[in-house]
Amino acid sequence: SKTTTHHSTPIVDSKSLMTASTSSSISKRNASEMMTCTTSTSNNDTTTTPFSSSPSRRRPLSRRQRGNLATLLTRKSPFSNETGSLPIGEHDPEGAIALVRNAKILVVGAGGLGCEILGLGCEILKDLAMSCVVRDVVVMDLDTIDVTNLNRQFLFRSKDVGHSKAESAAKFINNRCPWMNVVPYHGKIQDKDAEFYKQFNVVISGLDNVEARRWLNGMINNLVEFDSDGDPIPESIIPIIDGGTEGFSGQSRLILPRITSCFECSLDAFAPSAAVPLCTIAETPRIPEHCIAYAYVLQWPRTFPDRKLDADSPSDMKWVFDRALERGEKFGIGGVTYMLTLGVVKNIIPAVASTNAIVSAVCVNEAMKVLSFCSQSLNTYKMYMGSEGIYSHTFVYEQKSTCPVCTAHTHRLSLPSTTTLNSLLQQLCDGEFRLEAPSITSSSKTLYMRKPAALEKATRGNLDKNLKELMTSGEELVVTDPVFPDTSLNLVVTFEDEKMA
């Protein structure tokens, strides 16, 4: 097993936190101890017990007696991190609090609802703040607050609609929890370079789409450095805790770059989004979603050619709803509602607040473990199925031996020599790699490069050429793509017809 030593630099003074934590504990002690008790008489003996008349029930410990997270971190445990199935480090009760307080945590996503996997940012920030030990957090999010966010994202208020989620969330936490230092960043995660991500001790991801999660996974995996023996250097490993929810279901996982499976290893578990053919929407709608898509994809541009649909505008959405309702009546399709219209246009999946709370708590719990080593780490995947019961399933998600991100694997393809370069690139996009905009070079020349524009123009002619005109069979190609930041895919292509000959 590998032992990860976190690179922690003292950032803030701990006295203010101790003062805030102590005063908060004292101020709430009386309220927590004023619990409703009932008095029961048995054999002329009077016993006061909380919530029950049974003399055998013990009075719950008060807040002062229970302690807080600091109590847990400073005590030895038979279940410390080194005793688990995925040991990362050894728990030191004397230094555990300092490791957490001096750590810098990146929270990616400040929402509570996204498109494919629901974000958890608000809940994660709340849990980090209420730990009363975490101090330094950076939160990143690209989105602005919509009025529909207000029913589940408790850090936002009506006055925040239209403002940055990251900035509003950071402002709320900093005002409510003065021991916290939450720094917001409103923008894309792709806008930051490797040096930015190197400063963090752990990354908690609450992203709402697969593409962004792939990019973040690739970036953090690419930061790992190796020693002369080819083993990962523990200090360069930044754990990723990835969480997501969808309705009553949720998942959380711990990723140790280059040691455990990464997000790319589980890409097959996320089916590509199925696009509805335009002809179906235009000619043969079958479900309410087709009617809504027809209204905002086809009818809106025809009616308002010079104005883009504003999904945050009530009047625009009312227009789309009315047109979709008319089309549903025309084809005898019921179920077109205003809320469904919002969901289709904004690609919304209904959020369940309790699921978000549970999964975010698991994510923050794992963050505390990898920072302090106070308990056994999750190995490596946890599934929560709220619609089936209160129990959850934990299992090891195995590393994919051919993963292009966390393994140094050379991939091989066997193709006819008459295959065009464009067909090869399309296969890389549609196949197991699911690339977005690949560029490709051989050992001797650039076959096709998308950027800069001048190089793209110069290599565009190669797209229609056969592979045998551009390379030799068995030659190694290097493929780059935006989903793999600062890294590449090694590919060896052999010609089938030459094998047969």
Helix locations, 74-148, DSSP H: 96-101, 121-130
Pairing, β 381-385 against β 249-255: antiparallel
Ordered strands of the 475-480 beta sheet: 411-415, 489-495, 475-480, 439-441, 446-448
CA–CA separation, 471 and 423 (whole Å) = 15
Query: 478 has which bridge partners?
Result: 441, 490
DSSP class of 360: H
Length of the chain measured in residues: 501
Q: Are 213 and 121 in contact (CB under 8 A)?
A: no
- How many Cβ atoms are within 10 Å of 76's Cβ, its own excluded? 9
CA–CA separation, 261 and 267 (whole Å) = 11
Best CA proximity match to 363, nearest among 377, 374, 349, 353: 377
- How many Cβ atoms are within 10 Å of 445's Cβ, its own excluded? 10
Task: State yes or no: cis peptide before 452, omega within 30 of 0.
Answer: yes
- The DSSP result for 39-75, as a single string, is EEEETTEEEEEES---TTSPPPPPHHHH--HHHHHTS
Catalytic member of 132, 279, 374, 406 = 279
CA–CA separation, 95 and 6 (whole Å) = 12
Sign of the dihedral defined by the CA atoms of residues 22, 24, 30, 36, in that order: negative
- Give kind and range of the element (H or E) at residue 199: none
Convert 460-492 to b/e letters by CB count within 10 Å (16 or more is b): eebeeeebeebbebeeebebbbbbbbeeebebe
Cα radius of gyration (the chain) = 27
Q: Is 374 a residue of the active site?
A: no
Tokens representing residue 300 in the block = 């809106």
Helix (H, G, I), strand (E, B) or coil at 171: helix
Residues 6+ apart with CB under 8 A from 183: 137, 138, 139, 170
* Residues designated as active site: 279
